[in-house]
Chains A and B, each alone.
Chain A
Amino acid sequence: MHIEMASLWQYVLAGVVSGAIYALIAAGFVLIYQVTGIINFAQGEFAMIGAMTAASLNAAGLPVIASAAIAVVVAAAVGGLCHVLAIRPARKASGVTLIFITLGLSVAIRGAALFVWGTNPYSLPAFSSGNAITIFGGVLPPQAAWVLLADAIVFAALYVFFRYTYVGTAVRAAVASPAIASTFGIPLRTFAFWSFVAAAAIGGLGGVVVTPITSATYDMGLTLGLAGFVAAVLGGLDSLPGALVGGFVLGIVEKVSGGVLSTGWEQGVGFLILVLVLVLRPQGLLGKASRRA
């Protein structure tokens, strides 16, 4: 099997773009898991909500950037709603039951999306017109710059929030020791709610920025969610930098193996890696020794 360096490089670049999306969805997983201990299988659906809302608003005549902004807010609202309606009432349930609840949620959200949008794919124009970006002979669509920009903004904002703000420090305290934190009056339940809102907003943003490249369908959340989730475990479920690294590693490995083997193996290789990581290094690449699982 002879693979040319040029096409290999092209696979890597494609992997960077999908990896950037995975990183955003993985960041949502990590946020929710850190704050609540829940593995949220509805995370991919938040991205779908963002993507579909933006595409349909734009189709209705709104400018792209405005559609994108509203879509992120809608996704965040759906995330908050999920917490209020399904997670909070069941907060006494065991970890595995909560997983089952988020699985049910993802089925419900997908069904609602099917009702609102039908099965047709929706598209969204690129955020800016321009030529394809060429890097060392590899080609990226102009939208790729926006995808990477979204990653940079989100992860920088998360870093600043957790590092330099009072509330961010309180959240870190709550994660480190819920019991002690609550004796200091840190409102754990409120944090749980906002972790769903933030995770949904970040996931929604991921869905919005990728739509000009991939287009959007009501069932895109399943694949995106599973990939984001592999990325999160890969990087370490309790590490936000891990989500970033895990996302890019997964994206590149997927695209390269998809190109070298066959596209069918894209997903398979990701999950093989997930199994390996779970067995050899369950805390992930950047995670600390696992606390909850």
Chain B
Amino acid sequence: MLRSENSARREAGRYLPGALALFAVVAIGVWFLPSYYTGLVTQIGIYALVVIGLNLFMGYAGQVSLGQAAFVGLGAYTSAALAVKLNVTPWLGIMAGAIVAAIVAYALSFIALRLRENLLALATLALGIVINVVFNEWDFIGGSSGFKGIPGFALFGHVFDLRDYAILSWAFVVAGLWFAGNLVRSNFGRSLIAISAGELGAATLGVDAERLKRQTFVLSAAYAGVAGALYASYASYIDPSSFGFLLSVNFVLMSVIGGMRSLWGAVIGAAIVVLLREVLQGVVPLVLPSARGDFQSFFFGAILVLMLILLPNGLTRWREGRSS
């Protein structure tokens, strides 16, 4: 425990310089990348944003959520509905998406956060699926066919192209890292770590665990809401199947692989999961010409299991070894 406390402190350097450097690499890099890869960069950025929020809740506060995709969906649907039905600009849609996701998370926290570990995992999973069923059954937001032709972002009359979306999503990643970085280095962040070490102990030190867990859950939903709103305009098409249980599983795996209690881990985890899928999609058919469909998910799953066994603390905290 002491060892991990120390390394948590060591790691708590400033996030802004690194994030800005990464942003510069992305902003310059996308001018040289083929458009397919620019799409991947955008995807990684959007996922990373979700996982940064998720890491605050899972890694720092020590909770678990198997329903994060639902908050992404809430952000996406809010922004899309405002844009399609009321012609609201996606710039406001982002804010609205974050707010709606946060409000729903706040309401649900009174149900879910009473539970711990296994049962919390089950409750978040169930709530995520219920929200997805609502997307599916509510005709006002398109039912199972969702929204088509969602307006994109524009700035001073310039309509965003693929490159702009990559830059925009990574601008949000920088802002998200900066904010979360400040948060985890504050009293708030230290209290969260105290909660994850044991709620009773934290309570004796005057930490209001209920309240902090709730705030972190709401914040993680807001991150997911922003990511969802970005995704809606970027993809210009959403339907309920885009935000199902499997996406929640992917977020959790990104979080675990990068390292839950690390904000860079969120970025690394998102990048690894997206790139691993791409590499497998390219390599598997070369090695096994008879492979059909996207059967590379076998290797994907197997590699994930292997990493979880060998590096339960994630890539960014591999030094702490296997004891978790």
Enumerate chain A interface residues (CB-CB to B < 8 A): 39, 85-86, 89-90, 92-97, 99-101, 103-112, 114-115, 118-119, 222, 226, 229-230, 233, 262, 264-265, 267-268, 271-272, 274-275, 278-279, 282, 290, 292-293
Contacts and interface: CB of A to CB of B under 8 A. Distances in A.
Given A96-B64, A96-B117, A97-B312, A230 B301 contact: no
A92 B322 contact: yes
A114 B301 contact: no
Interface stretch (B19-27, B78-86, B108-116, B216-224): B108-116
Contact of A104 (B122, B291, B308): B308
Nearest to A268: B133
A100 B253 contact: yes
B115 A86 contact: no
Nearest to B293: A114
A226 B130 CA distance: 13
Given A108-B301, A268-B133, A100 B122 contact: no
A115 B130 contact: no
B73 to A, nearest CB: 14
Contact of B305 (A39, A108, A262, A290): A108
Contacts of A290: 119
B256 interface: yes
Contacts of A106: 301
Contacts of B126: 230, 271-272, 274-275, 278
Contacts of A103: 249, 252-253
A268 B129 contact: yes
Interface of B: 64, 111, 114-119, 121-123, 125-127, 129-130, 133-134, 136-137, 144, 245-246, 249, 252-253, 256, 291-302, 304-305, 308-309, 312, 322-324
Given A93-B308, A100-B308, A104-B253, 10 more contacts: A90-B309, A90-B312, A100-B256, A104-B305, A105-B301, A108-B300, A110-B301, A112-B298, A279-B114, A293-B115
B123 A107 contact: no
15 contacts: A92-B322, A92-B323, A92-B324, A95-B117, A96-B121, A99-B64, A99-B118, A100-B308, A104-B308, A110-B297, A226-B125, A268-B137, A274-B122, A282-B115, A293-B118
A85 B302 CA distance: 10
Max chain A C-beta neighbours (<10 A), residue from B64, B122, B130: B122
B245 A108 contact: no
Nearest to A85: B305
A115 B137 contact: no
A275 B309 contact: no
A274 B323 CA distance: 33
B298 A89 contact: no
B295 A114 contact: yes
B133 A275 contact: no
Contact of B292 (A99, A118, A282): A118
A99 B121 contact: yes
A33 B97 CA distance: 38
Contact of A86 (B246, B252, B309): B309
Nearest to B250: A107
Max chain B C-beta neighbours (<10 A), residue from A93, A110, A111: A111
Contact of B123 (A89, A90, A118, A275): A275
Contacts of B123: 274-275, 278-279
Contacts of B114: 279
Given A107-B300, A264-B144, A233 B122 contact: yes
Given A96-B64, A111-B295, A222-B245, A39 B301 contact: no
Nearest to A102: B305
A278 B122 contact: yes
Contacts of A226: 125, 129, 245
A85 B309 CA distance: 10
Contacts of A279: 111, 114-115, 123
B129 A86 contact: no
Contacts of A233: 122
Nearest to B63: A96
A243 B296 CA distance: 34
Given A99-B118, A108-B300, A279-B111, A90 B308 contact: yes
A94 B324 CA distance: 7
A119 B291 CA distance: 12
Given A97-B256, A268-B137, A107 B293 contact: no
